Structure 1
């Protein structure tokens, strides 16, 4: 019997295996082979580590590692409320809270509460939000502003904290918006936000802490802070009735929007006027009153709580079933389907009976269809009028009956300082503290140059530095004062240029107009020894041709229009020093292309674009040639800005706003105004200062008409600011001054440049915000060729009308040589006052 065959054993190794023998062992990938007898050792770590690994190894002992966590928004809410709301007066929405919780959970980790990391991050986010003009509500809207802020702070997070060094470099690398004179934003590294300076402990302006010698070496040019803003570049703002603030309109503007935008345009105007009235103290019920006299528009004012009961506006739909009761209505004047004058608001409309109506003030304002007015009277329900749907009444339609109007007035204007929440440099004795009611819009950027609360204080420091950098010494002032020199004139002689020359109705196809422009520019160029003697800007306002261009006229073709500007280029080429150191601004009129091609010289759609470049090539070449020949290459070069109508000049950001508008608005007001009965006034001989109107300050002799027997308390209530000393008017200027005051009160009370029905003065629906005068500008140029020149201040807004550049009456009375008189306005941006100038040529 055979023995079983067994597998032979492996022979014993002769040598003991070494420790490194396994690394030379060859392994097979075949499944027939099992695990090797000896374990495989790992590869020796002899290779060089990557750069990122070396960096982490080198810095791991300095920066702690942050493990991201999932932080619920409701858990972060108490900390966010304490930091953002209580400390910075900001409101956080749900969408904003979700973004902040995600950011803090990712970069702060588990130490967001115990180590106080979240509060520091939220504090910096709030300051950055204010610097960017985000408003009072933190949300991630259409512009994704909050997302952009978080992306900016993300590289600055290190170990759950904000790295101050990285944050400082980030703030310095992001240039603040510079107020360039060309209408675009430029980089100016030495200008930073005030809140950023406070948080980082540095001053980017170096105004207070800088060396005086350094300031003398580096003189600031005021033209750096002058910016021309066209109507199509302004931010589109709408009033939110839920948030009680202005916010950016959603969507992109279009010249052919849907019809819903037309309704939204008028609704936004109504909301702005309504909230303005609710901010007025006359429309807020006092805590106690001893007067039983019912409210009346004849005795309205800013401190009405001591004189009468507060006003209460009644919606038109609430008149139903209240026949025979007296009410105060706020609405827009319109024509009904039957051709009657009606008043409409957001709730309905009612026909007005104007048989006994009287305006307030008497003869002080126009009331045209399309204007928003206050109407006081009695509602009478007689069934004579029915709604548009044929029913007896209905919300949204015309209610039956009619409203017997007793008084009609425009909404009282609101000062710019009250709207934006700043005194704007006004003296304390000229401010009435009782007029500041409700919250202001200080964080709103109305022009795209920064808000008042955001950069207002910073721009005021720059303004003081610019205005005082060339101030004379005390000894020099005393020396000139001994010669009976006026102190204001002394200071003005040494300050940088602060004058803006405004010329209107520059019809360039007339040789007399070209001669007048040459004479006016010569007055500045001949007496200028340096750039400080030149005007800051020269504004030329159309119409630039006497007939509608390209509308089928005999002399209104495109060739003739270009020849007119070529003639102007030949005139201004004689003053290269002036062209190389100033800014020319051109504002078109209704006769200028391309709008006149369709309107034929009538009322074109507002706002309208500037003059096309095809007609202005030679003027651009003349200015470029003057810039190439200037000696001081370091100073700002001259330029020409072809602005829209209307346009705005912004100086030092939100501090100074000058509105330029060309329109024959006086004739349109006279043609379309509603005729009211004007009974004899027995209670007050003059009510021109009622409804908060400021007594005017004209360059001509002023007509105040204030009765000496007027009650002192009523005068204090109806005038926000004490008026100037009363002057006696000449007989030849009293009528024109009164007409100018009537025009100014009508426009500024409506806070709109075209307060007419859409059929009277058409407006682009999506760009209607460019015609708004809310807040009131610091200066308004109403270039009306049908009115004589004037300069009048109303509610802190200085209104100017240059009139026609050539005085036709002066030409008729001229000598046989045919000399004429050229008139223009010289506006001082420092004193906020315009002055009529004239020159013979």
Structure 2
């Protein structure tokens, strides 16, 4: 009798607030409430309902999975438990796509899109990748104040633009002036560039085009302004789409979690994480790239670096490959010029790699003050792996298992990967190219023959909404820039000048650091 009355009360409470509980969801709540005393049930009911109301729901019908996650969050908050540091690999990134009809981001399963797979059963996901990229950037442009109406400039006001599809140009029999089109740069014919969108492709004349600062390549999306005549779009100005900060995104689409993890709301909207972040104002992240474990001088400087942080242990050391400069297989060795063979170390094998990682583990354990620091390892382009396709899986368990046993607070993850620290979101990426990331909201807006990507995991390379930090490590000089609240940094190659970056979450600042000769 008690169970029946309680279930009726639970269903009534949710209906009064505009929700409908599925039967299994109602039963789940009832079972949970029966575990506490009668005087506490209403308090827990209010807490559950308040948490549900914060979720970015697509429907008023509540299922068991949502109720379970909500209840677990309530329990963690009550106990004062909160995960303030989490690492998400690329293959666990939640799938969201922009629905043009509903003008909102929905989970892929709601749109009938297949689950992520390294080996899809058709080529349809490839087309979906570029279609998603286009709609993601298009909706961002259409909401920008520059695209609020028809082309006009007068009365001292700011000029506004109207985006046109490629099909408008292809269907015109007369000359068109001052046309603005959003599309992807492609070479459908060798030596000839085209602008392509979901409606078609038009050949470009770039002879007199003006370009702003940035890298324009095949596969990136651009805005082209110019005239169209005789099947040719003469582009006078080519630029990148306007970027958008995370706050603007969330003001429009809500606080749904598109970054990673089981929570339905993003970390920035989590009040518990906000409180924890204030308490951890001394937190620090150390970023290193090209940590060549087979070079004695690198290992010596790494030992000095670890010893130098023993009095102020960082929250995490994030080390990125390449972790060796030796050829990873016989084929790559043979491809090198014969003159280099004598100067290179012996062909790298998994057994030899295990020895290097065991040496690093021993080095870390000799600094007990770092036992609370996390160690995150991201593979580089030439580290052992299945294929040079993004996202790259972690280093194999055979290589890392002994290290993980000796350094339990370590994590070998994918490239790219994501780190959540309190309310801040970080994206870590190691690759040997630099491109315009923020405007493209993508880590690798390049053609497939330059940077192949597993089609159904392309979402792991998205930068939308913009995270707080993007670590884009390559073999070039280090830098730090901030745009629209997003800090983009390159720690440089550790094996060259023993440079690295230190990021301070409390002030959102980045410092250049170096291990000197007398450290």
Residue in 2 that maps onto 1:259: 123
Equivalence map 1:72-83=2 (5 Å): 83=17
Structure 1 residue 559 displacement after superposition: 2.5
Kindly indicate whether the alpha-carbon contact (under 8 Å) linking 1:549 and 1:558 is maintained by their aligned counterparts in 2: no
Residue in 1 that maps onto 2:513: 837
SS at 1:270 equivalent: helix
How far, CA to CA, are the matches of 1:332 and 1:373 in structure 2? 6
CA 1:644–1:138 in structure 2 vs 1: closer, same or farther (change >3 Å)? same
Residue in 2 that maps onto 1:508: 293
Structure 1 residue 568 displacement after superposition: 2.0
How far, CA to CA, are the matches of 2:508 and 2:380 in structure 1? 25
Q: String of CA shifts for 1:392-423, please: whole Å, max 9, x gaps.
A: xxxxxxxxx110000000111111121123xx
Structure 1 residue 457 displacement after superposition: 3.0
Residue in 1 that maps onto 2:322: 543
Structure 1 residue 285 displacement after superposition: 2.5
Equivalence map 1:460-479=2 (5 Å): 460-464=274-278, 466-467=279-280
1:606 equivalenced with 2:387 (yes/no): no
Pick aligned residue for 2:63 from 111, 131, 146: 146
Kindly indicate whether the alpha-carbon contact (under 8 Å) linking 1:245 and 1:441 is maintained by their aligned counterparts in 2: no
- Structure 2 length as normaliser, TM-score? 0.83
Bigger strand share:
2
- Structure 1 length as normaliser, TM-score? 0.53
Residue in 1 that maps onto 2:84: 225
1:792 equivalenced with 2:468 (yes/no): no
CA 1:378–1:788 in structure 2 vs 1: closer, same or farther (change >3 Å)? same
Structure 1 residue 648 displacement after superposition: 1.0
Equivalence map 1:25-424=2 (5 Å): 83-84=17-18, 127=50, 129-131=52-54, 133=55, 135-138=56-59, 146-148=63-65, 174-176=71-73, 189-191=75-77, 224-250=83-109, 251-257=114-120, 258-285=122-149, 291-292=153-154, 307-319=157-169, 320-326=171-177, 327-337=179-189, 339-359=191-211, 361=212, 364-381=213-230, 401-421=231-251
CA 1:768–1:139 in structure 2 vs 1: closer, same or farther (change >3 Å)? farther
In our comparison, the structure showing a higher alpha carbon Rg is 1
CA 1:620–1:137 in structure 2 vs 1: closer, same or farther (change >3 Å)? closer
Structure 1 residue 449 displacement after superposition: 5.0
Structure 1 residue 315 displacement after superposition: 0.7
Pick aligned residue for 1:456 from 270, 274, 285: 270
How far, CA to CA, are the matches of 1:263 and 1:130 in structure 2? 36
How far, CA to CA, are the matches of 2:227 and 2:440 in structure 1? 24
Higher relative contact order (CA 8 A, sep 6+): 2
Structure 1 residue 264 displacement after superposition: 0.8
Structure 1 residue 322 displacement after superposition: 5.0
SS at 1:191 equivalent: helix
Structure 1 residue 128 displacement after superposition: 5.1
How far, CA to CA, are the matches of 2:327 and 2:260 in structure 1? 31
How far, CA to CA, are the matches of 1:263 and 1:348 in structure 2? 13
SS at 1:331 equivalent: strand
SS at 2:420 equivalent: strand
* Unmatched runs of 5 consecutive residues or more in structure 1: 1-55, 67-75, 85-91, 108-121, 153-169, 178-188, 193-203, 206-219, 294-305, 382-400, 422-438, 468-494, 599-603, 625-638, 667-742, 808-820
How far, CA to CA, are the matches of 1:126 and 1:366 in structure 2? 49
Residue in 2 that maps onto 1:583: 374
Q: String of CA shifts for 1:348-387, please: whole Å, max 9, x gaps.
A: 110000011011x2xx111100001100000012xxxxxx
How far, CA to CA, are the matches of 2:289 and 2:92 in structure 1? 24
Q: String of CA shifts for 1:212-240, please: whole Å, max 9, x gaps.
A: xxxxxxxx9x9x51111111111111111
* Unmatched runs of 5 consecutive residues or more in structure 2: 31-44, 334-345
Aligned residues: 477
SS at 1:518 equivalent: helix
Q: String of CA shifts for 1:605-663, please: whole Å, max 9, x gaps.
A: 00011111111233224325xxxxxxxxxxxxxx11001100111012xx201111100
Structure 1 residue 440 displacement after superposition: 2.8
How far, CA to CA, are the matches of 1:410 and 1:353 in structure 2? 18
